[in-house]
A and B are shown apart, each in its own frame.
Chain A
Amino acid sequence: DQQVKQNSPSLSVQEGRISILNCDYTNSMFDYFLWYKKYPAEGPTFLISISSIKDKNEDGRFTVFLNKSAKHLSLHIVPSQPGDSAVYFCAAAPSGNTPLVFGKGTRLSVIA
């Protein structure tokens, strides 16, 4: 049973436009949410996170929104750049030193 779902396996966006990547979760115990970016043959790199006490966190071109009642979060990238082309993983965890649960990822392609 997938606790973290990324229902769109791929997304194509034109350079300069907004990219919106979505993620849904089922476990109400999740307290912390993260987005990771992964290039081929490399380990994932941390992008941005949000705790359950917030509904928005912004870092430069990246903004994560959390809707706890809908158990939904999204990552907005604006403006999108070709270098943003990668696979983006949504991850979640309850508080404490517990492993993250990952979604299956969404492959973003930013077209110049």
Chain B
Amino acid sequence: GAVVSQHPSRVICKSGTSVKIECRSLDFQATTMFWYRQFPKQSLMLMATSNEGSKATYEQGVEKDKFLINHASLTLSTLTVTSAHPEDSSFYICSARGQGKGTGELFFGEGSRLTVL
């Protein structure tokens, strides 16, 4: 079946540095990928919709300049957390809808846990 791979799974960085998280669809093409963030004991919150070849669509309250999304190819979307601060520490998850898998079914990456010191 369709697989979405995310890398790195864990990253620890110093405050003020930037971190890039990659999301790849391994056996299908994804024109659209979604980035979610999960706070402790809370639901998955949609951050942005990543569209191949065009600008991402951000949800209200998500800083575009802080969370840079690039969807350069049909199998790769990246999320860059710029000038990270401790409050950016969270679990980030990407997802993509598999082709031919039925309306609505979404495949998730393994998630990336970011810790900003």
What residues make up the interface of A, taking CB atoms closer than 8 Å to B?
Answer: 31-34, 36, 41-46, 49, 51, 89, 91, 93, 95-97, 99-105
For A46, the chain B residues whose CB sits under 8 A away are: 105-108
Find out whether the CB atom of B91 lies under 8 angstroms from the CB atom of A41.
yes
For the complex formed, measure the closest distance between the CB of A13 and the CB atoms of chain B, giving whole angstroms.
20
A99 CB to nearest chain B CB (Å): 5
Query: In the complex, what's the smallest C-beta–C-beta distance from B79 to chain A, in angstroms?
Result: 14
> Which residue of A31, A42, A103 is within 8 Å of B110 (Cβ)?
A42
B residues in contact with A97, CB < 8 Å: 31-32, 97
Question: Is B100 part of the contact surface with A, judged by Cβ < 8 Å?
Answer: no
B102 contacts partner chain A, Cβ-Cβ < 8 Å: yes
B32 to A102, Cβ gap below 8 A? no
B78 sits at the interface (CB 8 A): no
Select which of B6, B91, B104 is within 8 A of A100 by beta carbon.
Answer: B104
Beyond known contacts A34-B105, A95-B103: 9 more, CB 8 A cutoff:
A34-B104, A42-B110, A43-B109, A45-B108, A49-B104, A93-B104, A97-B31, A97-B32, A104-B43
Q: Is B93's CB within 8 Å of the partner chain A?
A: yes
Contact digits for B19-61, partner A, Cβ 8 Å, 1 yes 0 no: 0000000000001101000000011101001000000000000
- The answer, yes or no, to whether B113 is at the interface (CB within 8 Å) is yes
**Smallest Cβ distance from A68 to chain B, in angstroms?**
16
In the complex the two chains form, what is the Cα distance from A54 to B60 in whole Å?
Answer: 33
Interface string of B75-117 (1 = CB under 8 A from A): 0000000000000000101010100001111111111010000
* Chain B min CB distance to A23 (Å): 12
A89 CB to nearest chain B CB (Å): 7
* A31 CB, nearest partner CB in chain B, Å: 7
Minimum CB distance partner of A46 in chain B: B105
Docked pose: A44 CA to B107 CA in angstroms = 8
B111, A42: Cβ atoms under 8 Å?
yes
With the chains together, A41 CA to B113 CA distance in Å?
Answer: 8
CA distance A102 to B42 in the complex (A): 10
Distance from B14 Cβ to chain A, minimum over Cβ atoms (Å) = 22
